[in-house]
Structure 1
């Protein structure tokens, strides 16, 4: 546990620039005063946008760029020393580096188009504040016991690229790949304090890098002259020439010579202007209505989404810091992009597959608040886009006769006609939240509430890997007035592990839910009540046992006691979930969840009791029916044995300050989601959290965020 250090005003300003970058860039499209181009009708029968012509734009990345310097052939006084490199980019204070940064600038290019195929050239120039200390592994000179994080620093101020692009246009979208040349600068500063005398030797060297870039992106025409886009690129600058970087003082030191190589990942949000205008096709729904019996065209389903969230927190009371503490004065960004593929093998058998890219980290590396404040912040965060196969499963419907219903085409749903009375069987990889604990007002952090305790029953320690998925089987029996569903799934092999345990007969998760559907006669509005129970066996520790063993001195550290004594143990609990329409535009939601609290948490988060609720309102009253306003509140608590463990210095899945003066964690969240187009939504969000980490010594904390979500 270390003391929190104060932050300078310039650092605070940079943090808020990071938070506002995404929101301001997105908002520019929403408040565009007029379309400067004359609309051009698309050729009859075409179902793609014509992107021909020149364009200019702005691009920004709020903590969505990552660079990694590595050093080789390093010598001190003519002697070879071990190489050293920067950290892994998570920005956690114990790694001594922050490898993500804000990058932003301007770009321009020209497109040619043949049918739906688009090709062109583009150039861009961006400023950055990528500035990091680099932890050194140089040994034998007295630094191994000192604060070596300030020995060598590196700073990059500018990136430039020239690229060729090749893409495919459909509807209002352009999906493309790109490659070309990139350049950047780097300044290296060496500080070599003399351990004995305290004297400081400082040296500087500037290096220019030229390398290649390769990447991909997607852009969407929001008007006939404006487009929004996401652009990812990998830049590889190779090795620099060998250069001198001062001298290590002392008899054992000498001149430092080294060679650096540099690569970077960048993910930009872009706003583009086409002065000549775009030719945009009509909405497909306006061309022909959907028919679920329309032959082979409904044998498959293709949809996608991308969500970008920038979030920050200003200063708050932080008298001390533990490994899982929330840190003041910071901003972070997360991005996901998903493809939803579906295939109808027969009229009742379907296959689904969801590849997903994810990038970024929650605040403090997704630590510091039990009901975490960004639902898109995975515990499997990465400084660069990481591809995972998050879902793959087979779905079998057994129709039982009687009344039928049409199901429209959508994400993970091929258009079909099915019986209302039916049995659904499913096997493969999925998230339990896909089928359990649903709520139309608070269940999806990509479109509604951000807070983990508002979009889910957070005392439900559901089995999952770090991104939130598991493998198993699922069954549901559905009637018009109710449904009963259950699942048996794998659990993580270890606490908070990305590896699922194959020993399903010894360790598994069992979850069941009853869903009742009704109409309140005095409101003439429908509602749903869900009752869920779970019983999971995973490799965890007993809270009371590890506290006792530490107090008796058998273990010096309670975290060691938790690791050594972990074994398969059962955790049980349940939840109640209410979803009630009050008017056609106003809805109420409420949840209560509880677990036995005897063991450390396995998969989700460190919560033993949770209560949450709120309201969701459509903007019909102010002529914005596509907009949504949400207001919610949550209260989370720990069992007595669990809070005793945290007070003794235990670090859980998300929380832990190293000590604890217990108080319930309480959160309030409000958001406004602006429907820019049928496919694009911009959200502004505010959260207030009192007693983050259940610690009355900490906070309260305020969180500000913007979210851009697009889907098709």
Structure 2
């Protein structure tokens, strides 16, 4: 309830800011204002002229995506292998996701979005054995048969804080029109928190950018979600052209990485807060994002699990345990063709990982380039590295034979998990498709110096229209 009260106070503060802005304005706000996307690029200054709005009457948005990823790794050295290890030898694995994005404008500033999704297939070793797993489109689900489920269903209400607007394109979960440059928004329903937080222009979407889990998000942000990556909650946004403040409260899984969300919000919930600041260096745009989170759930304790003969961390679960952490996320345009990014994240690592993956510290950096230099301006080339680490309690637990839901070799000679990834995305605009070969080098998979290294290759087909 304390978390709910804090979120309610923040909501009231933002409404007061809205009222102050509205009173100070002599020009009424633009009517029929559609929402701005969570990952919108820096908006133009309020006094900058924008093109005439030719899409004001657009009421619907309809889009589709399908992503197929086939991944394989070469045989590697492994003197021992546990139930939660990456298999030293296995056949290629394929994952599939198909999503329909339906949006409908309701009333002034309001819209509703509905995303049915079909997912199937499997990750390498059932998505186990590497903390920074190699396929961001696969889930830790035993049955590879495709399943249809509800990915998102949420209401978005936007309140303009002045009369300045900027045109927005029709896109997934975004209806074209004139959007305010300064606004407060409230999103309520089912969605993924990564739709709003930890955005990055060069490293965020495994359907079109890097595949690795440690590159699509801050690795140590144990963001609340069910097995497929979605939660139910509310996100408040206060956005201006130069900075944005976002706050969320949401449900967490009933058990670690489980498919069912815990509806007992008073004893299990998660709060996320992020401040984003845009800037320019030498005329080149950049953004810095600072994120903090606190999760309350029935988490087990690594130290207490060490005292048990069976190392069963589930037997140490108690209501009301917390996990806290932070993340830093930066992106910088270097030239018209090349951009750079970096992330740094940390969590306290005392209690078991509850939702995302078993990373307690993470540092990543990389570059992304268009293919303009070789006359392929729609293509993308990406190069990145990420290093992941564990808290002392977490590593001691794994060394004693424990396991989480992603990793656990039965033994452990600890070393940071180091991963390098390179991809090239061939874009075919007329076919609305991209084909992306991908290579990842994994040193010390699951933080184990005794196993690996692992060479992973993949081919991704992505269709979107």
2:401 to 649, 665, 682: 649
Q: How far did residue 380 of structure 1 move? A: 3.3
Task: State the match for 2:270 in structure 1.
Answer: 509
Is it true that 1:467 corresponds to 2:218 in the alignment?
no
Report the 3-state secondary structure (helix = DSSP H, G, I; strand = E; otherwise coil) of the residue aligned with 1:540.
coil
User: What's the counterpart of residue 317 of structure 1?
Assistant: 77
Indicate conservation of the 8 Å contact 1:292/1:408, yes or no: no
Residue 295 of structure 2 is aligned to residue 533 of structure 1: no
CA displacement 1:211-230 (0-9 Å, x = unmatched)? xxxxxxxxxxxxxxxxxxxx
- In the alignment, is residue 371 of structure 1 matched against residue 123 of structure 2? no
Q: Hey, what does 2:386 align to over in structure 1?
A: 634
- Which structure would you say has the larger Rg? 1
Does 1:687 find its partner at 2:447? Answer: no
Shift of 1:673: 0.5
Q: Which runs of 5 or more residues in structure 1 are unaligned? A: 1-289, 551-555
| Residues 591-630 of structure 1 aligned to structure 2 (within 5 Å) | 591-630=343-382
- Displacement of 1:508 in angstroms is 0.5
Question: 1:459 & 1:478 partners in 2: Cα distance?
Answer: 26
- Partner SS, residue 329 of structure 2: strand
Post-superposition shift, 1:295?
Answer: 5.5
The gaps in structure 2 that reach 5 residues or longer are: 1-50
Report the 3-state secondary structure (helix = DSSP H, G, I; strand = E; otherwise coil) of the residue aligned with 1:558. Answer: coil
1:345-397 CA distance string (max 9 Å, x none): 12311000000000111000000100000010112363221001010000000
Query: C-alpha separation between the residues in 2 aligned to 1:291 and 1:527?
Result: 28
**What is aligned with 2:43?**
none
Pairing partner for 2:323 from 560, 571, 579: 571
Determine if contact 1:460/1:575 at 8 Å carries over to the other structure.
yes
Are residues 1:328 and 2:80 paired? no
Alignment partner of 1:398 out of 159, 173, 184: 159
SS at match of 1:325: coil
Give the Cα separation in 2 of the matches to 1:574 and 1:651: 24
Distance 2:344 2:54 in 1: 42
| Contact 2:56–2:178 (Cα < 8 Å) also in 1 | no
User: Contact 1:359–1:381 at 8 Å: present in 2 too?
Assistant: no
Match of 1:420 among 148, 159, 181: 181
**Deviation, structure 1 residue 294:** 3.9
Corresponding position of 2:68: 308
CA contact (8 A) 1:358 1:381 kept: no
Task: Report deviation, 1:466.
Answer: 0.2
Q: Where does residue 486 of structure 1 map in the other structure?
A: 247
- Give per-residue Cα distances to partners, 1:6-33, cap 9 Å, x unaligned: xxxxxxxxxxxxxxxxxxxxxxxxxxxx
Question: What is the CA-CA distance between 1:582 and the residue it aligns to?
Answer: 0.2
Taking the aligned partners of 1:420 and 1:544, their CA distance within structure 2 comes to: 49
Aligned residue runs from structure 1 range 28-107, under 5 A: none
The count of aligned residue pairs is 412
Higher strand share: 1
Partner of 2:194: 433
What is the rounded CA distance, in whole Å, between the counterparts of 1:570 and 1:320 in structure 2?
34
Tell me the distance in 1 between the aligned counterparts of 2:53 and 2:204. Answer: 27
Q: CA deviation at 1:407?
A: 1.1
Q: Rate the CA distance shift 1:291–1:368 in 2: closer, same or farther, 3 A.
A: farther
For 2:382 and 2:181, locate their aligned partners in 1 and report how far apart those are by CA, in whole Å.
32
Match of 1:457 in 2: 218
* TM-score normalised by the chain length of structure 1: 0.57
Structure 1 residue 708, shift from structure 2 partner? 0.4
SS of match in other structure, 2:367? strand
Output the CA distance in 2 between the equivalents of 1:480 and 1:376: 32
What secondary structure, in the 3-state scheme, does the structure 2 residue paired with 1:358 have?
A: strand
In the alignment, the residues of structure 2 paired with residue 301 and residue 608 of structure 1 have an alpha-carbon distance, to the nearest angstrom, of 39
> What is the TM-score normalised by the length of structure 2?
0.87
Structure 1: distance between partners of 2:461 and 2:55: 34
TM-superposed CA distance for 1:415, in Å, is: 0.9
Q: Distance in 1 between matches of 2:179 and 2:212?
A: 35
Instruction: Please state how far the C-alpha of 1:291 moved relative to its aligned partner.
Output: 7.8
Matches within 5 A, 1:5-404: 292-294=53-55, 296=57, 298-330=58-90, 331-380=92-141, 382-404=143-165
Cα drift, residue 694 of structure 1: 0.5
How far residue 406 of structure 1 moved from its aligned partner, in angstroms, is: 1.0
Deviation at 1:416, TM superposition (A): 2.2
